[in-house]
Amino acid sequence: MNKEVNIDNNMELWSKCLSILRDNLEPEQFSVWFEPIVAVSYKDNKLTIKLPSQYFVQQIENNYFQLFSSVLRRVYGQDVKLFYSFNIVEGTPSSSVTLEHDHSSVKLNSKVNKQSQQVANPFEQVELDDIDPQLNPRYTFENYCCSTSNKLAVSVGKAIAEDPNCKTFNPMFVFGTTGVGKTHLIQAIGIRIKELRPRTRVLYTTSRIFEMQYTSAVKQNKVNEFISFYQSIDVLILDDIQELAGKTATQNTFFHIFNHLHQNQKQLIMSCDCRPSELDGMVPRLISRFKWGMTVELYKPDMELRRGVLKMRAAQDGLAMTDDVIEYIAENVTESVRDLEGIVVALLAHATMLNQEIDLDLAKTVIGNSVKVNKKQLTFEMIAETVSRYYKIDLELLYGKTRKREVSDARQLVMYLTKKSTQMSSTNIGLKLSRDHATVLHACKQIEQRLSIEKKFRHEVELIENELR
């Protein structure tokens, strides 16, 4: 193959690559990760492609490069060398960098940081627009699933990010249990701010790092430099504020930084594992200030959010997960988003390394090894609703006095299944249906007799019990 290729030929070769990729990827994967890529140039076996952001580079490197490199060698030749071109700040061509593929995400990130010449050292003298925000490019709003359980927090976060004059939510205090998405959300706010207003001095840090920096400043007699650095920030994002509990000197220093930023209309965003009023070991004047703005809770992920997270992660990782697998995982992994993502990683390992198909049995095995499966606690009401739905009988008729054969049979089945599947006594079951315990015992005997001799009825009961499970 010629070492120099004109623009038209390069576009033709790139189109061939896209065609092969399209045939080997799910439509959603191809549309999201490869359609936005532009082949910029090809010369001396060096192919340069333009991607929307560094995040795209990381996704290609981590998830698709084996396929991608095979396609490139097939179309461009075995000696092709790949170079990535992207803007460090979205929409800002002056921040563009070009990097060679080197099979190392860590090395890639270090190159980007070096080329962008950004720092976040509170003791280093830098220009006011020269700071690394320390944001993870994966933690964007686009990658953050939204549902009722986090809708308010997401809405507030976007309002802060998109309207620089919005100070109603200052400070923003996000709290919730481990793994519900606090870190992702607060970093997404910072990333959106940098996309919309690149020169804004945004800094994300953890409270533990903040405390370590303060301790170091004390030892080096540079507390003033430490405070000056943090007072120069436009948007300070502090994760895990509870880590400052009991560290009075650090809290007092943060109190002065907080006051300065707030008085100068700078935005503060904090996360915590509990609400401000429940923080132990924190000086009262800080707790009071945490309540000045917007305190919002991230709840445990609801069913809608769990489904959304699973579908998004499956699409990003190239996993084919059927609806029944997604439903099973969503029903049994309920505590945190982090747990859900861990399950997807485990499924990905089985699918790629062990060449296993992702089916319901594999999902059950992986979940059984990772988290405690939530067993559904059956109730009388759940059983009654399931039986009435199966036989297409009005639920109210089961509770009534009608003696029609189809209703009476369904009512007896409800009594039998409740007695079998719950801890309710015959008396309590009878009270639910305005019957006595003798009626319940009779109903259970009748159903047992029918199950022993009626094959069709036995099959119907099995279907109902499967639905209840």
Q: Inform me whether the pLDDT recorded for 230 exceeds 60.
A: yes
Would you place residue 116 in the very low, low, confident or very high pLDDT band (cuts 50, 70, 90)? Answer: very low
211 pLDDT band (50/70/90 cuts)? very high
Report the candidate in 365, 385, 381, 361 with the shortest Cα–Cα distance to residue 373: 365
Q: Give CA–CA dist 5/10, Å, rounded.
A: 6
Pairing of strands 202-206, 172-175: unpaired
Helices (H), 337-376: 337-353, 360-370
Mean pLDDT of the 136-160 span: 88
**Do residues 169 and 158 lie in contact, with contact meaning Cβ atoms separated by under 8 Å?**
no
Name the residue among 298, 230, 216 with its Cα closest to residue 258: 230
Mean pLDDT over 244-268 rounds to 93
pLDDT, the chain, mean = 83
Q: State which H helix or E strand residue 173 sits in.
A: strand 172-175
Rounded percentage of the chain residues whose pLDDT exceeds 70: 87
Burial class (CB in 10 A: 0-12, 13-18, 19+), 199: exposed
- DSSP element (H, E) containing 98: strand 96-100
For residues 36 and 5, give the distance between their C-alpha atoms in angstroms, rounded to a whole number.
22
* Residue 403 pLDDT class (50, 70, 90 cuts): confident
Residue 351 has pLDDT above 80, yes or no: no
Bridge partners (DSSP) listed for residue 295: 173
At residue 106, the pLDDT reads: 33
CA distance 228 to 210: 14
Q: Is the pLDDT of residue 133 over 50?
A: yes
Would the pTM of this model clear 0.75, i.e. be above it?
no
Q: What is the mean pLDDT of residues 347-368?
A: 77
Which residue type is seen at 7? I
Question: How does strand 202-206 pair with strand 235-239?
Answer: parallel
Per-residue pLDDT of 69-101, as tens digits, reads 889 988 988 888 898 887 755 455 554 666 676
